[in-house]
């Protein structure tokens, strides 16, 4: 069977190319969003809602949903607006790290809109020059502005000591207490993220094999952890009187009864309550992950092993934990 080439005139070829460009322009946002995680989508939508609130204050009414889904709504956005957005967040009291994340989201959608042809090439070139704050610049900015923190994100994690971690893993001998002990083991002995714990199926823990199998959505990776001694004991005690399903951790009900499942919010709230009981205020579930990484570094875990066990895509985060544990003057010898 022969395939005869159909000749096209230059004008026809150009028209076909324009149709293809038009289709690509309409789908540039959805194509990008189809490649990112659900948590990232939610965060970006929140970031764009904040940007919409800033724009409204400047007299420009654009709905957050339109910023998230319609490239043409970005046509009036300029580098000057992004510079003003950064200054506005400083005045509103947002943490430096949050400002940088919000700006990164807005710049990403500007780049997508430019790809769709709704932001001019010379404008996107200027937008790329808009910068957030480096660490030292952020400290300097914090010194001269009014400190009014916005949101629930902390500037620094709450430090959980090794002794405090041991206390947190010792909970009352009730159904709820056994569930709480297992929860704290998953945070402090395995460094699981809050969302990872909420998604654990009842079959995630194999008591016979002594392993935990779970999915890290953030890095799209399934991992197997060998259960620590404390986690194995806590899981055995939990399963002895609780029958979870389909999710591992049962939710709390009135009267100390367990049913349903623990949501991410419930896990974070419960971790905060348990920590408050031993005198640790302002703790989030993620502070347990920080504690786990810190204990691992102190125990001599090499950075590559910590990176793999913690489900990080790069060595940068484990390196931060290692750097925070270094004794700066070790090896310094003072002479007479």
From CA 97, how far away is CA 138, in angstroms rounded? Answer: 8
- Helices within 133-173 (DSSP H only): 135-144, 162-168
* Rounded average pLDDT per 10-residue block, the chain, 336 residues: 60 54 71 89 94 95 95 95 94 87 96 94 96 78 61 67 96 97 98 95 97 91 96 98 95 89 94 95 90 92 93 85 72 79
Q: Are 91 and 30 in contact (CB under 8 A)?
A: no
Neighbouring residues of 278: CB distance < 8 A, sequence distance ≥ 6: 164, 167, 168
Domains of the chain, CATH where assigned: 10-144 (no CATH), 162-325 (1.10.443.10)
**For residue 23, with 0-12 CB atoms within 10 Å meaning exposed, 13-18 middle and 19 or more buried, which class applies?**
exposed
Greatest extent of the chain over all pairs of C-alpha atoms, in Å: 94
**What pLDDT is attached to residue 11?**
61
**What pLDDT is attached to residue 38?**
84
**What pLDDT is attached to residue 19?**
47
**What pLDDT is attached to residue 319?**
83
First-residue to last-residue Cα distance in the chain: 94
């Amino acid at each position: 069977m022969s395939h005869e080439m159909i000749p096209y005139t230059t004008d026809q070829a150009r028209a076909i190319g324009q149709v293809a460009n038009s289709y690509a322009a309409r789908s540039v946002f959805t194509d990008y969003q189809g490649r990112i995680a659900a948590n990232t989508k939610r965060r970006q939508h929140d970031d764009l809602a904040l940007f919409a609130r800033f724009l409204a204050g400047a007299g420009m009414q654009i709905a957050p949903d339109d910023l998230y889904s319609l490239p043409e709504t970005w046509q009036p956005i300029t580098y000057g607006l992004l510079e003003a957005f950064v200054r506005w967040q400083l005045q509103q009291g947002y943490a430096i790290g949050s400002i940088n994340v919000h700006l990164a989201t807005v710049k990403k959608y500007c780049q997508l809109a430019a790809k769709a042809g709704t932001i001019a090439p010379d404008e996107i070139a200027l937008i790329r020059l808009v910068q957030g704050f480096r660490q030292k610049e952020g400290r300097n900015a914090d010194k001269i502005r009014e400190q009014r923190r916005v949101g629930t994100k902390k500037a620094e994690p709450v430090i959980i000591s090794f002794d405090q971690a041991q206390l947190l893993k010792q909970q009352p001998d009730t159904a709820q207490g056994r569930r709480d002990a297992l929860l704290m083991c998953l945070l402090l002995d395995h460094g699981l993220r809050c969302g990872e714990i909420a998604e654990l199926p009842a079959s995630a823990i194999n008591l016979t094999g002594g392993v935990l199998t779970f999915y890290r959505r953030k890095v799209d990776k399934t991992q197997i952890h060998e259960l620590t001694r404390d986690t194995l004991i806590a899981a055995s005690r939990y399963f002895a009187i609780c029958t979870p399903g389909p999710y591992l951790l049962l939710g709390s009900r009135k009267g100390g009864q367990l049913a349903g499942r623990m949501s991410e919010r419930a896990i974070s709230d419960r971790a905060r309550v348990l920590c408050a009981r031993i005198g640790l205020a302002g703790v989030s579930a993620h502070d347990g992950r920080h504690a786990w990484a810190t204990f691992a570094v102190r125990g001599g875990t090499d950075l590559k092993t910590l990176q793999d066990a913690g489900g990080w895509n790069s060595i940068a985060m484990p390196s931060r934990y290692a750097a925070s544990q270094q004794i700066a003057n070790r090896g310094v010898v003072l002479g007479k």
